[in-house]
Amino acid sequence: MAAQDFNFLLATDSYKITHYKQYPPNVSKVYSYFECRHKKGAQFSEVVFFGLQYLLKKYLAGPVVTEEKIQEAKVFYQMHFKQSVFDEEGWRKVLEKYDGRLPIRIKAVPEGKIVPRGNVLFTVENTDPDFFWLTNFIETMLVQMWYPITVATISREFKKILAKHLKATSGSLEGLDLKLHDFGYRGVSSQESAALGGAAHLVNFCSTDTVAGLLMAQRYYACPMAGFSIPAAEHSTIISWGRSREKDAYECLLDQFPSGPVAVVSDSYDIFKACKHIWGDKLKERVMERSEDSPLIIRPDSGDPAETLIEVIKILEECFGCSLNSVGYKVLPSYLRIIQGDGIDLNSINEILEKLSDEGWSAENVFFGCGSALVQKLNRDTLNCAFKCSYVEANGKGMDVYKQPVTDPSKGSKRGRLCLRRNSDGFIETVERGAGKPEEDMLVTVFENGTIVQEYTLDEIRKAAQLWEDDVSPSQHNKEDGPTLDIHQKHIMNGVH
């Protein structure tokens, strides 16, 4: 987004330009909230809250209204609606009264927090009665929060699956946060989405090729380096050697990157022959020269992911042997690993890991790369993200409002001013109709009248979003993690709203 070019007044759904004329007369406050609606039988029961700080810093903080922007918007909307509907006076008042800063208060759950579906995640309200229309003007922009929330949530679901299998087949969680590498840069819809989605994945993992996500974590979440990568081949660097010189291409990679891991895509022509005849025969000695710190990581990239992976690992076992780990699962020699980056989603990764363990293989042997299933193949309905008005004040009187369509009860909205709290049983719940006590409200004011008043670092966010013991092994108790794992957190896991 080009800085000077961005005009906040042009960053909303067109129809919102007309809404100031539509609210009841004498309205002085509009109060709205965002939630991931609860849906019966939904795949995901809890969400990771992430990304608001980026939106606030990039688009809402400071003086966002100028006379030039008002003029630009006025001219634009005149042409767009073919009539004058733009509220020029209203915006000029923002400029005059607040120096172009937005008289809005946003309260939100801390970033990284894990919250069960169906709870308020943030609220928005105008702080000056003149600007009742501003609350929902910024809905469009704020609802785009669905994206980082959904990516962070899906990525964490991947982490749960990986943690479960890794624990079961290796006895520890070592290396967990490098198990799922972000391959999604090219498969997202823009540079900005790459940055946002890439950063959301980094809430849960430290492994990425989406450089844009690292820069976002630096610039907006104060993390100097949030993720790591390794040298790796792509098809062009293999096939440019010609079909008859695939072996030479591979050897070049081993030569160029002797110390440190290197990943080599090996399916340009025939993944199985490449494993058996090139890696397992012609270059066998070279592969065996490598070490645990500098493994060769073979990458299949076509075919049915589970079948291909099993066949590849069997071929490698024949050529290089394997050993048993402390919990009795097979592990390839430490200089050799596999990364599967094609066709990975929540279903296939589980299927692959189950097949591997069925065949006696530890999850230590494999890494995964995921592109579109991680950062693109998701939408606002994945977690039913919605922003709704729940409270207004008119003629000095407050009123709880809601929608409740007969044609779809799941679209019903919450009523009144909202508070998020942990109840006496340890469950997170939303208290409606202004009945919540301020002292137990988990919503924190993050934005007020143009200023960001609370910030989070990626480190803090990562801590908050850590997996809990129950995510990994529901039946076991790990005393070492006692201090970080209070009774409430365990309860949240089972919390139903």
Partner 1 sequence: MTFRSPRPLIGQCTPFGPAHSDSVTHPPHQRRLVEREQQKLTVARDSSHVKGKMEQHTGAVDFNILLATDSYKVTHYKQYPPNTSKVYSYFECREKRTDSTKLRKVKYDKTVFYGLQYILNKYLKGQVVTPEKIQEAKEVYREHFQDDVFNEKGWNYILEKYKGHLPIEIKAVPEGSVIPRGNVLFTVESTDPECYWLTNWVETILVQSWYPITVATNSREQKKILAKYLMETSGSLVGLEYKLHDFGYRGVSSQETAGIGASAHLVNFKGTDTVAGIGVIKKYYGTKDPVPGYSVPAAEHSTITAWGKDHEKDAFEHIVKQFPSVPVSIVSDSYDIYNACEKIWGEDLRSLIEMRSADAPLLVRPDSGNPLDTVLKVLEILGKKFHPVENSKGYKVLPPYIRVIQGDGVDINTLQEIVEGMKKHRWSIENISFGSGGALLQKLTRDLLNCSFKCSYVVTNGLGVNVFKDPVADPNKRSKKGRLSLHRTPSGDFVTLEEGKGDLEEYGEDLLHTVFRNGKIVKTYTFDEVRDNAKLKESEVKDLLL
Task: Establish if 289 lies at the interface with partner 1 (CB under 8 A).
Answer: no
Task: Establish if 454 lies at the interface with partner 1 (CB under 8 A).
Answer: no
Q: Name the nearest CA neighbour of 413 among 20, 29, 28, 38.
A: 38
Stretch that binds partner 1, among 10-18, 41-49, 276-284, 432-440 (CB under 8 A): 10-18
Let me know how long the chain is.
497
Task: Establish if 472 lies at the interface with partner 1 (CB under 8 A).
Answer: yes
Q: Which residues pair with 228 in a beta bridge?
A: 207
Number of residues that bind partner 1 (CB under 8 A): 173
Residues 52-81 that bind partner 1 (CB under 8 A): 57-64, 76, 79-81
What letter would DSSP give residue 449?
T
Secondary structure class of 51 (helix, strand, coil):
coil
Give DSSP secondary structure letters for 234-246.
-HHHHHTT-GGGH
Question: Residues with Cβ < 8 Å from 328, sequence gap 6 or more?
Answer: 360
Task: Establish if 426 lies at the interface with partner 1 (CB under 8 A).
Answer: no
Q: Which residue has the tokens 């929540």?
A: 346
Task: Establish if 306 lies at the interface with partner 1 (CB under 8 A).
Answer: no
Task: Establish if 23 lies at the interface with partner 1 (CB under 8 A).
Answer: yes
Task: Establish if 267 lies at the interface with partner 1 (CB under 8 A).
Answer: yes
Give the residue with the Cβ less far from partner 1, 95 or 452.
Answer: 452
Residues 395-414 that bind partner 1 (CB under 8 A): 399, 401-408, 411, 413
Residue 96 Cβ vs partner 1, minimum distance, rounded to whole Å: 17
Select from 74, 95, 110, 140 the one that contacts partner 1 (CB under 8 A): 140
Cβ neighbours, 10 Å, residue 29: 19
Rounded CA separation 400/412 (Å): 13
Task: Establish if 447 lies at the interface with partner 1 (CB under 8 A).
Answer: no
Select from 44, 98, 147, 329 the one that contacts partner 1 (CB under 8 A): 147
Stretch that binds partner 1, among 37-45, 123-131, 315-323, 378-386 (CB under 8 A): 378-386
Cβ neighbours, 10 Å, residue 234: 13
Rounded CA separation 163/372 (Å): 21
Per-residue b or e along 193-217, where b marks 16 or more CB atoms closer than 10 Å to that residue's CB: bbbbbbbbbbbbbbbbbbebbbebb
Secondary structure class of 221 (helix, strand, coil):
helix
Give the residue with the Cβ less far from partner 1, 259 or 424.
Answer: 259
Task: Establish if 434 lies at the interface with partner 1 (CB under 8 A).
Answer: no
298 and 312 Cβ atoms separated by less than 8 Å: yes
Q: Name the nearest CA neighbour of 132 among 437, 395, 438.
A: 395
Residues 311-370 that bind partner 1 (CB under 8 A): 337, 339, 367
Residue 186 Cβ vs partner 1, minimum distance, rounded to whole Å: 4
Residue 94 Cβ vs partner 1, minimum distance, rounded to whole Å: 13
Task: Establish if 30 lies at the interface with partner 1 (CB under 8 A).
Answer: yes
Question: Residues with Cβ < 8 Å from 482, sequence gap 6 or more?
Answer: none
Measured CA angle at 292 (ends 157, 271), to 5 deg: 70
Secondary structure class of 387 (helix, strand, coil):
strand
Residues 226-265 that bind partner 1 (CB under 8 A): 227-243, 245, 248-249, 252-253, 256-257, 259-261, 263
Stretch that binds partner 1, among 278-286, 314-322, 387-395, 430-438 (CB under 8 A): 387-395
Give the residue with the Cβ less far from partner 1, 211 or 346.
Answer: 211
Give the residue with the Cβ less far from partner 1, 173 or 444.
Answer: 173
Select from 42, 168, 222, 310 the one that contacts partner 1 (CB under 8 A): 222
Say which amino acid occupies 484.
Answer: T
Residue 439 Cβ vs partner 1, minimum distance, rounded to whole Å: 28
